[in-house]
């Protein structure tokens, strides 16, 4: 089997690359090392894959590529992530890397024989919701410019499925964490601050909740979606529970066994109040069951920091 992974040097893409190589796929990875966080971190993410004979790396911006490799599967992970940075001038980066890059890939593969085109969508397409847990039918009212671009790209996947039969599936990830987590994300920031004896910034009242999903569960969801008969579908991929930021900080404190200083700052624009995925549809259709519970995942994440 031949697979293309975009964003292969990123947090999730690098884990998926390693998993597909383990499963015997020939993998081509594309990444252009956007400067959202340091290149050295991304190079380190790809270290294991680069040693593998079945891995080919293309360092290029998707938008500038005219010929993509002939593959059975496309796993489209590349994007400009991050809710809070998506306001203002940087919206151009979001429209380019999230919407235009997705359209380029879909346009290229629309006339080619693909088994599956799996798109990394996001819980941020829902925005603030009236009812929890969030089901796939819950109205989509993105609350950040980032969410708008992720929804636009998901809509493009649906359009290419409906018009050209491109076998797209969108996986709506709910806050992913684990080794190599992006340095701008809450768990990575909190653990780093605690280890450096810095103050943790807690936004708002800290009672906002998130459904955290361990990265190996997200990787598994990609494999299940690729192998399934599902096409033209979207699935919530969550971790199966939700916790408040206050409880998350307490959990990290217990796992590290050190005291943590917390400073309260204002609510961040674009941050939704709660997320919590109903994953019934993903369980029924692709057989997705999240396996890693929060306490265990946090311990694994902290373990990976000490291994570095
Ligand atoms: N991490 C999460 O909690 C989360 C939640 C929901 C959805 N997602 C989605 O999952 C995907 C992966 O997220 P991540 O956290 O691993 O992010 P990441 O920033 O670690 O990885 C994305 C990678 O894509 C690359 N990239 C961006 N634009 C590119 C382009 N035009 N051409 C080539 N490479 C490009 C970047 O250099 C980066 O290495 C993204 O699509 C993101 O929107 C992530």
Q: What is the CATH number of the domain that holds 39?
A: 3.40.50.720
- Number of domains into which the chain is organized: 1
Residue 245 CB partners (closer than 8 Å, separation 6+): 186, 202, 203, 204, 206, 207, 208, 209, 210
For the annotated catalytic residues, the residue numbers are 146
Confidence of residue 94 (pLDDT cuts 50, 70, 90): very high
What residues make up the domain containing 31? Answer: 2-176+214-238+277-290
CA of 304 to the centre of ligand 1 (A): 20
pLDDT of res. 63 = 98
CA of 81 to the centre of ligand 1 (A): 5
- CB distance 62 to ligand 1 below 6 Å: yes
Mean pLDDT of 260-287: 95
What are the tens digits of pLDDT across the range 48-87?
A: 999 999 999 999 999 999 999 999 999 999 999 999 999 9
Mean pLDDT of 87-107: 98
Average pLDDT score over the chain: 96
Please give the structure tokens belonging to residue 287: 């057989």
Is the pLDDT score of 201 beyond 80? yes
In a domain, 304, yes or no: no
CA of 189 to the centre of ligand 1 (A): 18
- CB distance 217 to ligand 1 below 6 Å: no
CA pair distance 303, 194, nearest whole angstrom: 14
Mean pLDDT of 90-107: 98
Confidence of residue 241 (pLDDT cuts 50, 70, 90): confident
Number of helices and strands in the chain (H, E): 11, 13
In a domain, 196, yes or no: no
- CB distance 142 to ligand 1 below 6 Å: no
Closest C-alpha residue for ligand 1 atom 26: 78
In a domain, 121, yes or no: yes
In a domain, 77, yes or no: yes
What are the tens digits of pLDDT across the range 138-197?
A: 999 999 999 999 999 999 999 999 999 999 999 999 999 999 999 999 999 999 999 999
Q: Which atom of ligand 1 is nearest to the CA of 121?
A: 7
> What is the dihedral sign for C-alpha 224, 225, 227, 228?
positive
What are the tens digits of pLDDT across the range 30-42?
A: 999 999 999 999 9
In angstroms, what CA-CA distances link 151 with 39, 118, 141, 148, 157? Answer: 27, 14, 9, 5, 10
CA-wise closest residue to 6 among 29, 36, 32: 29
Percentage above 90 pLDDT, the chain: 96
In a domain, 200, yes or no: no
pLDDT of res. 307 = 81
Residue 107 CB partners (closer than 8 Å, separation 6+): none
- Count the residues in the chain: 308
SS3 assignment for 235-290: EEECCCCCEEHHHHHHHHHHHHCCCCEEEEECCCCCCCCECCECCHHHHHHHCCCC
pLDDT of res. 306 = 83
In a domain, 255, yes or no: no
pLDDT of res. 81 = 97
CA pair distance 242, 218, nearest whole angstrom: 16
Q: Which long-range contacts (CB under 8 A, 24 or more apart) does 192-195 make?
A: 193/260, 194/252, 194/253, 194/256, 194/258, 194/260, 195/256, 195/305
Least-confidence region, from 15-29, 150-164, 257-271:
257-271
- CB distance 101 to ligand 1 below 6 Å: yes
In a domain, 25, yes or no: yes
- CB distance 63 to ligand 1 below 6 Å: yes
Mean pLDDT of 126-135: 97
Q: Contact, 6 vs 101, CB < 8 A? A: yes
Cis check: omega of the bond before 133, within 30 degrees of 0: yes
CA of 11 to the centre of ligand 1 (A): 7
CA of 123 to the centre of ligand 1 (A): 14
In a domain, 82, yes or no: yes
Closest C-alpha residue for ligand 1 atom 21: 10
């Amino acid at each position: 089997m031949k697979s293309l992974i975009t964003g292969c040097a990123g947090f999730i893409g690098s884990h998926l690359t390693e998993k597909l190589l383990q499963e015997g796929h020939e993998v081509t990875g594309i990444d252009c090392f956007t400067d959202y966080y340091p290149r050295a971190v991304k190079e380190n993410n790809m270290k294991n894959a680069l040693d593998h004979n079945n891995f080919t790396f293309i360092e290029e911006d998707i938008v500038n590529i005219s010929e993509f490799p002939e593959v059975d599967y496309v796993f489209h992970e590349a994007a400009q992530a991050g809710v809070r940075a998506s306001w203002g001038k940087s919206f151009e980066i979001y429209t380019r890397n999230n919407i235009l890059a997705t359209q380029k890939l879909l346009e290229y593969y629309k006339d080619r024989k693909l088994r599956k085109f799996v798109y990394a969508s996001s819980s941020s397409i829902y925005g603030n919701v009236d009812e929890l847990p969030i089901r796939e039918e819950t109205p989509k009212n993105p609350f950040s410019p980032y969410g708008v671009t992720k929804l636009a790209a998901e809509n493009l996947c649906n359009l290419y499925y409906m018009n050209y039969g491109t076998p797209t599936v969108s996986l709506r990830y709910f806050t992913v964490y684990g080794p190599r987590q992006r340095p701008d994300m809450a768990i990575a920031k909190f653990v780093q601050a605690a280890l450096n004896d810095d103050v943790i910034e807690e936004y708002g009242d800290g009672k906002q909740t998130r459904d955290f999903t361990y990265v190996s569960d997200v990787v598994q969801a990609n494999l299940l979606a690729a192998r399934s008969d599902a096409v033209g579908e979207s699935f919530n991929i969550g971790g199966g529970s939700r916790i408040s930021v206050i409880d998350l900080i307490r959990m990290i404190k217990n796992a590290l066994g050190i005291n943590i200083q917390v400073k309260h700052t204002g609510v961040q624009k674009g941050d939704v109040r709660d997320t919590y995925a109903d994953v019934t549809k993903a369980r029924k259709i692709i057989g997705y069951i999240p396996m890693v519970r929060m306490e265990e995942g946090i311990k694994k994440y902290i373990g990976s920091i000490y291994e570095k």
